[in-house]
Amino acid sequence: MKKKLSLLVLSLILLLSTSSSIFASPSGFTESELDTIFEKAGTPQELINQMDYYTKLFIVENSGEDFEFSSNSTSLYKFDSTLDTFIEVKETDIQPLGYIPSTDMSLSMYTFNVTVNGVAMKEIYSQFEWLNKPKDFPAGIGKDNLGIALPGGYEIQSGRYACAVQTKLEKNDAWGAASSSRCTNQSPVVNNLYGAVWEFSASQNYLNIYYKGTVKLTARTVSSNPVKRAVSRYSQARENALGNYGVSIGIGAASISYTPKSGSNDTMDADTNW
């Protein structure tokens, strides 16, 4: 009986020691240490609380520990072709056809100021989070796209792109570690002087789960008076009856277009300024 009790106590000790390090990473950051980095950067506490551990880690690993918070936005936008601009979508608005409902997914943007080799630059992140499990084919987020675009007056820095995806099985589960394996080619599929667009992949084995993904680009100001704004657009792929989907991607000044060549798509937009 004593032996069984000793084994039980040992098991509990091992479990507790494992639990205490569950939010430690190979790079050695605890969640408390990451929170301190974001607090020193001037990040609003509400935003810090909203971010999961691996989102914070992804930002620190890609932007370093010495960054300054610039802006964030969780407002939803849609492009109004009549006005030729983005307009905010209210929760009470009837959302147009072809637009991903805010009850299904959220799209957020974060911007940070950094210094790279003595030059001031802007790190721009966009993050989608499926609030419900994607049910349309292709599987999960397969063939979906997410992009970031800037107006003129900025120089996009090659070699400083980043992309990662997180998953979880159930709504109340903690988000898993960020991995670039579900970012096609682990780099943008399209990029130019205005921005970049990434594509995601998923197998049938990963259909019935939740997804969160984050992409990032770095830009240097090259204009004396640039428009301080960035936009992001997500595209959810929908295969046709033959199982085909193809899309033509365009990136312009603070604009991204996804035009299906086969199948169809739904989109969501976000906008931030600083």
What would the mean pLDDT of 158-182 be, rounded to a whole number? 93
What pLDDT, on the 0 to 100 scale, is given for residue 233? 96
For residue 236, give both structure tokens. 């959810």
Backbone angles phi, psi at 126, to 5 degrees: -130, 140
pLDDT digits 0-9 by tens, 104-160? 999 999 999 999 999 999 999 999 999 988 876 667 899 999 999 999 999 999 999
Angstrom distances, CA of residue 45 to CA of 39, 48, 51, 119: 7, 5, 10, 28
Quote the mean pLDDT of the chain: 84
Any idea where the domains of the chain sit in the sequence? 25-273
